[in-house]
Structure formats: C-alpha cells, structure tokens
Chain A
Amino acid sequence: MTMVKKVLHLLFLPCSEATLLMEKRNAQAISSKENWKLSMHLMICKWCKMYNKKLALLDTLFKKTLSEKESEIKESDIQDFKNRMIEKLDF
C-alpha cells in the first residue's frame, strides 16, 4: 500500500475497525456517524470494499443455514441416552 493510502486510511478509519463497523451495520446497530465513516472508508479502500461484499455473502449463507443445522449422532448413542434418561427420572 502506498504511503498516501495509509495516511488516508488512518485519517478516516483503519481497516481493522472498518471491518468491525461492518458487523454493526450488518446488524443495524451502527450510529449515523459510524455509518458515515464506514461509507467514506469503503469509497477509498478496495480491500474493505471486497471484504464487505464477501461478508454480505457469508451473512446470506448463514441466515439460510445456521439456524436449521444439526449434527449427526449415532442411532445407538441416542438409544443409550433414552434408556439412561428414563432410568434417571425413575419412571
């Protein structure tokens, strides 16, 4: 990165903080001042601009998948669990 760009970055907002503000914006928890700073940053920083696009894709993927997912467990482990549970609650 050129020196000029580095200075510009620091003047507005470093990328390490811009990426944090993206999370806040993404959750609609960003203040208008932060939002402005982030928008300025995204205009001049191609790294964050691209990251922001990727983050939007990740967000869409997660919205569609993370809430429904479950992990596989062996049938025999489930059966063992049921037996232990019924024994434990003393039915």
Chain B
Amino acid sequence: MMKNEVLKNWIEQYSEPLLKKAFYLLSDKEEAQDIVQDVFIAAFSSYDSFGGKSQPLTWLMAILKRKVADFYRKKYRSEPNIRLDHFFDETGSWKNNDVLNDWNAAGKESELLDDQDFNKTLEECMEELPSRWKILLKMYYIEEKKAPEVSQEFNVSTTNLWKILQRSRMQLRECLEFNWFSRL
C-alpha cells in the first residue's frame, strides 16, 4: 500500500483511541485535537522509520507521549510552586486529624475498583488537581514509575517530581477522605 493510503487508514482507525488518550492526559479537547494532529503529521513525515516492526497504534501512542512531553515543557517553563501549608503547620506537623481515619472498613482495593461510584469519585478528585501536576502524575504511572525517565522527558528535576507527586497525593487523599471514605 502507498504511504498516503496507509496514513489515511490510520487516521480512520486510530483517531479515536489517540484522541481519547490525549484528552485524558491533557483534560482539554482543543489541546487534545491539536496534539493528535501533530502526531499524525509527525507519523507522516517519519513514516519510513516506522518499518512495521511494531503495531501502528503502539508506534502512534509512543509519538503521542513524546508530544505530550513537548507540550508540557513548552507550557510550564518556570519552577513549580508547591506549598504544603494547607496540610502542615510551621513545624511540619499535620494540621488535621482526618488522616487518622481508618480506610480498612472500605474493603479491598479490588472491591473499590469494581465500585463504579468509587471510580467516579476518584476521577473527580483527580480532575481537581492543577493540570500541571495531573499530567505528571498520569505520565509517571504510564511510564511505570520510572522517575528518571519522566524527569528527563518533562524537564523537571527529580526533587520537583517528588514534590509534585507528594502534593498531588496529599490532595487526593484528602479529597477521597471527604467525598468517599467518611461518607461510608
């Protein structure tokens, strides 16, 4: 098949999974469309290096991840400003005792994941994070928690990566505490 034909097929077949993934990562439809457009343009111009060694979607997803990293580096140039004073006092001790509430009563994680309402709450809590942290948190797990790789691709120091993960997770814990576990 000709290159043009192949690319046209790819656009037909893979626009949907790429757009959905990009929208998930960026939480913005316009930005998701722009980035998937860039993915296809990049695939078109470097088609010769594809060589059919992997599945086309795997290759396109890899390009998408690189584009998301590019997007992140361009958008967030300054050092992140991470404050913990919502959670800790001036001595660095916990301000509130709600962290002490026991989650065990809520059941095992497999049961939690099967619970649609819980998943919805988790997603809503996730969406409340600033997009800068959210992208990193998601990519950190997509890249199987390889901190050095994520830190290099996204051009954040590992120290800042830890801080962003810490701050995001503190907020998610609190959000789940109030919106799920304390309501059971």
Contact = CB atoms under 8 A, between A and B. Distances in A.
Interface string B60-81: 0000000000000000000000
Nearest to A9: B93
B19 A73 contact: yes
Contact residues of A: prevailing secondary structure = helix
Contact of B37 (A15, A57, A61, A85): A85
A43 interface: no
A68 to B, nearest CB: 9
Contact of A6 (B15, B91, B137, B170): B91
Interface in B9-62: 11-12, 15-17, 19-21, 23-24, 27, 29, 32-33, 36-37, 40-41, 44
A85 B29 CA distance: 15
A55 to B, nearest CB: 6
Contacts, number: 131
A91 B7 contact: yes
Interface residues of A, number: 49
Contacts of B33: 81
Interface of B: 4, 7-8, 11-12, 15-17, 19-21, 23-24, 27, 29, 32-33, 36-37, 40-41, 44, 84, 87-88, 91-94, 97, 99-103, 109, 112-113, 119, 122, 137-138, 141-142, 144-145, 147, 158, 162-163, 165-166, 169-170, 172-173
